[in-house]
């Protein structure tokens, strides 16, 4: 499964606009290999008629469609009933801060956990983020099962294959930080795709956002291929679900770019994914590297499927917002 995981999926269409003041202030929105301020984006994209795509009525329609897409993904996961999962996601300074920022981390602990933000933590969050917290954090402290046997197998194969991965057996806790517990890339899967019935899983955490050690697209795909080899050489009687959690284009939506991702998945075109210009995989759109890594796992299987839904959820006439996509193969 490939799925978006962002706040628009767990907040109301009215709440999407809480992020617009920050959009207006930002001077360096990445879009198609360059960066722009808000007003320049408005002028650049005026021919697209984006104002009509971010009316309240349209936002409500797209929000409802996203909800239906998530439900279909969750229904499919429940029907397939995998034994375990591998989740390729990213961290947005929820776990890793300036003291250490690994490019690739494989979690090999027996227990994962998450909890809601305290009032003090919620007060530190940007506007519009706390409102969406229910979609990735449980209502109370909750532990989830890790999968150390498979994690160790992935780590050992990685080290033998030229991937110097970081490992972790317990989640760090940073006193005074705005976040504790699992990053939302993983919490979204636990809550909304697994519906809180979390199977043992291996989180593989990529640094997609933060220079200078972001693994490029080709490295992410090759990591996925390695993970696929590890899964196939592990315990053949176990059914393993694989997730790419994140994306699609945001925080400036680029529908054409998103469609190239869908097309590459349909054609199992590894080279199309690997050669994507790094300038296109910045900011929120960098999370598509999680999709690319999952493609590296799944291209070498006999599974097949297609897009469940795609909703470009605009919140401004500059094209800011989050494009949400959902795909599964089975």
| Residues 282-318 pLDDT 10s | 999 999 999 999 999 999 999 999 999 999 999 999 9
Tokens of 234: 């592990």
CA atoms of 263 and 164, how far apart (whole Å): 31
Number of other CB atoms surrounding residue 84 within 10 Å? 19
Contact present, 92 and 182 (Cβ < 8 Å): no
Percent of the chain with pLDDT over 90: 99
Q: Quick one: average pLDDT of 250-262? A: 98
pLDDT at 217: 98
pLDDT band, very low/low/confident/very high, at 146 (cuts 50, 70, 90):
very high
What is residue 107's predicted lDDT score, i.e. its pLDDT? 98
Instruction: Give me the mean pLDDT over the 66-75 stretch.
Output: 98
Q: Label the pairing between strands 250-252 and 111-114.
A: unpaired
Measured between alpha carbons, how far is 289 from 215 in angstroms, rounded to an integer?
A: 9
Q: What average pLDDT does range 4-25 have in this prediction?
A: 97
Please report the DSSP string for 182-242 in residue order.
S-HHHHHIIIIISTT-PPPEEEEEE--SSTT-PPPHHHHHHHHHHHHHHHHTS-TTS-EEE
Query: Residue 9's pLDDT is what?
Result: 98
CA–CA dist 179, 110 (Å, integer)? 21
Per-residue pLDDT band for 149 (boundaries 50, 70, 90) equals very high
What's the pLDDT score for residue 253? 98
Q: Give the model's pLDDT for residue 125.
A: 94
Residue 25 preceded by cis peptide, ω within 30 = no
Average pLDDT over every residue of 21-27: 97
pLDDT of residue 32: 96
Look at residue 260 in the predicted model and tell me its pLDDT.
98
| The pLDDT of residue 298 | 97
Cβ atoms within 10 A of the Cβ of 277, count?
11
Q: What is the mean pLDDT of the chain?
A: 97
Domains, the chain, in order of start with CATH, read 2-329 (3.40.830.10)
278 Cβ neighbours under 8 A, 6+ residues apart: 214, 216, 217
pLDDT for the residue numbered 303:
97
Q: What pLDDT score was predicted for residue 295?
A: 98
* Percent of the chain's residues with pLDDT above 70: 100
Q: What pLDDT, on the 0 to 100 scale, is given for residue 162?
A: 95
Grade residue 108 by pLDDT with cuts at 50, 70 and 90.
very high
Tell me, what's the pLDDT at 122?
Answer: 95
DSSP 242-257: EEEE--SSEEE--HHH
Residue 225 pLDDT class (50, 70, 90 cuts): very high
> What's the pLDDT score for residue 3?
98
DSSP secondary-structure letter at 306? E
């Amino acid at each position: 499964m490939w799925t978006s995981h962002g706040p628009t999926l767990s907040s109301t269409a009215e709440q999407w606009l809480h992020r617009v003041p920050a959009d207006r202030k930002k001077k360096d929105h990445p879009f198609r290999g360059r960066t722009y301020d808000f007003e320049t984006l408005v002028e650049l994209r005026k021919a697209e008629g984006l104002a009509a795509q971010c009316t309240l009525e349209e936002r409500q329609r797209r929000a409802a469609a996203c909800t239906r897409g998530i439900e279909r993904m969750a229904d499919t996961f429940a029907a397939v009933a995998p034994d375990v999962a591998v989740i390729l996601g990213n961290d947005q300074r929820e776990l890793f801060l300036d003291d250490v920022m690994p490019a690739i981390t494989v979690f090999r602990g027996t227990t994962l956990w998450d909890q809601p933000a305290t009032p003090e933590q919620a007060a530190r969050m940007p506007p519009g983020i706390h409102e969406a917290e229910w979609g990735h954090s449980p209502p109370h402290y909750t532990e989830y099962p890790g999968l150390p046997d498979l994690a160790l197998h992935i780590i050992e194969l990685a080290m033998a294959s030229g991937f110097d991965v970081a490992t972790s057996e317990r989640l760090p806790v940073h006193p005074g930080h705005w976040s504790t517990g699992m990053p939302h890339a993983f919490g979204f899967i636990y809550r909304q795709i697994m519906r809180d019935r979390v199977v043992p899983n291996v989180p593989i955490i990529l640094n997609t956002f933060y220079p200078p050690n972001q693994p490029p697209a080709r490295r992410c795909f090759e990591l996925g291929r390695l993970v696929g080899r590890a899964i196939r050489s592990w315990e053949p009687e176990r059914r393993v679900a694989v997730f790419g959690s994140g994306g699609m284009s945001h925080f400036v939506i680029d529908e054409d770019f998103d469609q190239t991702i869908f097309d590459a998945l349909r054609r199992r075109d590894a080279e199309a994914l690997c050669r994507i210009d790094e300038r296109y995989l910045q900011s929120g759109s960098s999370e598509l590297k999680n999709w690319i890594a999952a493609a590296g796992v799944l291209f070498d299987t006999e599974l097949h499927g297609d897009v469940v839904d795609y909703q470009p959820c605009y919140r401004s006439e500059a094209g800011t917002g989050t494009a949400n996509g959902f795909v599964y193969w089975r």
